[in-house]
A and B are shown apart, each in its own frame.
Chain A
Amino acid sequence: MEAFSVLVAQASDPDDLKNIEAAAGAGMAYGLAAIGPGIGIGYIVGKSVEAMARQPEAAGMVRTTMFLGIAFTEALALIGFVVFILLKFA
């Protein structure tokens, strides 16, 4: 945070300031957007492994559900990523 303050203080050009703010916003958007799905995927996989260990005959069903659950959860991270590329690169 201190480094960010120093960067903002040194930026005399409004364009530089805008770039710094865009980079900081994009980084925070992507970082925060990746945390939630990370927790969600960890929870999904943990519970799925527990279910497979308790009932191995249902492992195929559990794996399919887990795969789809991971993909749906990952959509949130992808939305954050798209916000990131639009803020940072566009």
Chain B
Amino acid sequence: MPGANPVDVVTTRFDGPAPEVAVSTDMIKRGVVVAPVLIAICGVIWGINGAWSGAYGIAIVLVNFALAAAFIATAARISLGLMMGVTLFGYLIRLALIFLAVWLVKDASWISLPALGSTIIVTHLGLLFWEMKYVALSLAYPGLKPSGSQPAA
């Protein structure tokens, strides 16, 4: 039948390497590298509480990336249909976990909420835009560019 899917979404699975795990791991490495700079900036703007909050915000973002990749990679090894469900419900679960992580420390003496919020947004978007430079997106290299290659002009 024209337009029919050649594979079944429920039974199809991908056992190969997970590109999203590679991308996420790369982002986490970059996040760890820039974390001292971000923490220092938060410390300068909001003081010592800002520095602690900045570190906490960076940790939240990095764990969020790791969880997102782990959810997708694990579900893709089982079925495409499951991957769809896990990705959607994973979004809700991760939002709830972020809320829980902030709610648990909201009254702590060392927390600075403006610093925490700013760090979450800046780290999340900054790491994503930075990672775009290192993603190949080709059939040969579906995830990251091979190491040692120069960025395309």
Contact = CB atoms under 8 A, between A and B. Distances in A.
Interface in B87-126: 87-88, 91-92, 94-95, 98-99, 102, 106, 113-114, 116-118, 120-121, 124-125
A50 B9 CA distance: 8
Contacts of A61: 19, 137-139, 142
Interface of chain B, helix or strand or loop or mixed? helix
26 contacts: A38-B88, A38-B91, A38-B92, A41-B91, A45-B87, A45-B88, A49-B80, A49-B84, A53-B7, A57-B139, A64-B20, A67-B19, A67-B20, A67-B68, A67-B72, A68-B128, A70-B91, A72-B128, A74-B91, A74-B94, A75-B124, A75-B128, A77-B91, A78-B98, A81-B99, A81-B102
B23 interface: yes
B121 A78 contact: yes
B132 interface: yes
Residue from the set A37, A58, A59, A67 with the largest chain B CB neighbour count within 10 Å? A67
B23 A68 contact: yes
B68 A71 contact: yes
The range of chain B's interface size is 35 or more
Interface in A46-90: 46, 49-50, 52-54, 56-61, 63-68, 70-72, 74-75, 77-79, 81-82, 85-86, 89-90
B8 to A, nearest CB: 8
A37 B76 CA distance: 22
B147 interface: no
Contacts of A85: 102, 106, 113, 116-117
Across chains A and B, which 9 residue pairs bring their CB atoms closest together, nearest first? A60-B142, A82-B117, A67-B20, A61-B142, A64-B19, A53-B5, A90-B113, A89-B106, A45-B87
Contacts of A49: 9, 80-81, 83-84
Contact of A37 (B6, B20, B91, B99): B91
Contacts of A56: 6-7, 12, 14
Contacts of A29: none
B137 A64 contact: yes
